[in-house]
């Protein structure tokens, strides 16, 4: 959907470590190779508490058909945990939103750096950026101040162009 939530570096779904949400009846964990040992450790500990859970391991790449089948078969009361690097998490997050999960039903644990994007208000293109307050558009080279607002529609922080001194 046009204004559907997207994963960004300040997403309320991002947590430091995996912690089961006790308001939900079922826990679905999707993880990649970077998170495999942490996830197995948590599962070994928490399965003793008789939680209902299901998990899906991402290999070298995501099997999209299998992922979609899994996500679309879920019932209300399921909480989704995504434990992976940024690119895998962003892909799974987008598929989960499309399947019907809301941000309240997703927890994301990122392994490695998070990606940030800016939407240039001069050339209307998106560029990947670091954590600097001022950046340069990779498309039109305009200098931009990184705005505080993240646009779910444009999938980036709003970049305000300025003329440098």
Partner 1 sequence: MRVYGNIEMNVGKIEQITESVKRFYLYPSDQKLLPAFTGGAHITTYVNQGDKTLERDYSLVSDPTDRTHYSISINRDPNSRGGSVYWHDHVKVGDTVKTSFPKNHFTLGFHAKHHVFYAAGIGITPFLTMMTELEAQGKTFELHYAARTKEQCAFYDYLNEKYPGKCTFYFSRSDEPVRMTPETMKNQRIGSHVYFCGPVSMVTEYKEAALSYGYPEKSVHFELFAAAGGENNPFLVEIVNSNTVIEVSPEQTLLEALLDAGIEAPYSCKAGGCGQCEVDVVAGEVDHRDIFFSDEERKQKNMILTCCSRAKEEKLVLKI
* Residue ranges that bind partner 1, judged by CB under 8 A: 1, 4, 23-26, 71-72, 74-79, 99-102, 104-105
| Shortest spacing between CB 137 and partner 1, in angstroms | 32
Find all residues with CB under 8 Å of 106, minimum gap 6, and list them. Answer: 13, 79, 80, 81, 82, 93, 96
In the beta sheet, which residues pair with residue 158?
A: 119
Residue with Cβ nearer partner 1 (100 or 113): 100
| Shortest spacing between CB 54 and partner 1, in angstroms | 13
Q: Which residue has the tokens 């050339």?
A: 123
CB atoms within 10 A of CB 53: 17
| Shortest spacing between CB 60 and partner 1, in angstroms | 27
| Shortest spacing between CB 7 and partner 1, in angstroms | 16
8 A C-beta contact, residue 88 and residue 116: no
8 A C-beta contact, residue 43 and residue 49: no
Q: 78-84 and 156-162 as β-strands: parallel, antiparallel, unpaired?
A: unpaired
Residue with Cβ nearer partner 1 (15 or 40): 15
Residue with Cβ nearer partner 1 (1 or 44): 1
Token reading at 67: 């992922």
Residue with Cβ nearer partner 1 (85 or 95): 95
């Amino acid at each position: 959907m046009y204004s559907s939530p997207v994963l960004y570096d300040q997403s309320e779904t991002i947590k430091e470590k995996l912690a089961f949400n006790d308001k939900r009846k079922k826990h679905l964990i999707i993880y990649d190779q970077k998170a495999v040992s942490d996830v197995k450790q948590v599962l070994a500990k928490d399965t003793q508490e008789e939680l209902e859970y299901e998990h899906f391991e991402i290999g070298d790449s995501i099997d999209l058909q299998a992922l979609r089948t899994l996500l679309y078969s879920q019932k209300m009361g399921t909480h989704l945990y995504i434990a992976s690097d940024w690119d895998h998490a962003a892909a799974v997050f987008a598929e989960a939103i499309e399947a019907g999960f809301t941000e309240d039903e997703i927890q994301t644990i990122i392994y490695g750096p998070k990606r940030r994007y800016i939407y240039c208000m001069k050339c209307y293109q998106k560029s990947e950026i670091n954590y600097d307050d001022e950046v340069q558009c990779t498309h039109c080279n305009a200098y931009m101040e990184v705005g505080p607002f993240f646009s779910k529609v444009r999938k980036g922080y709003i970049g305000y162009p300025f003329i440098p001194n």
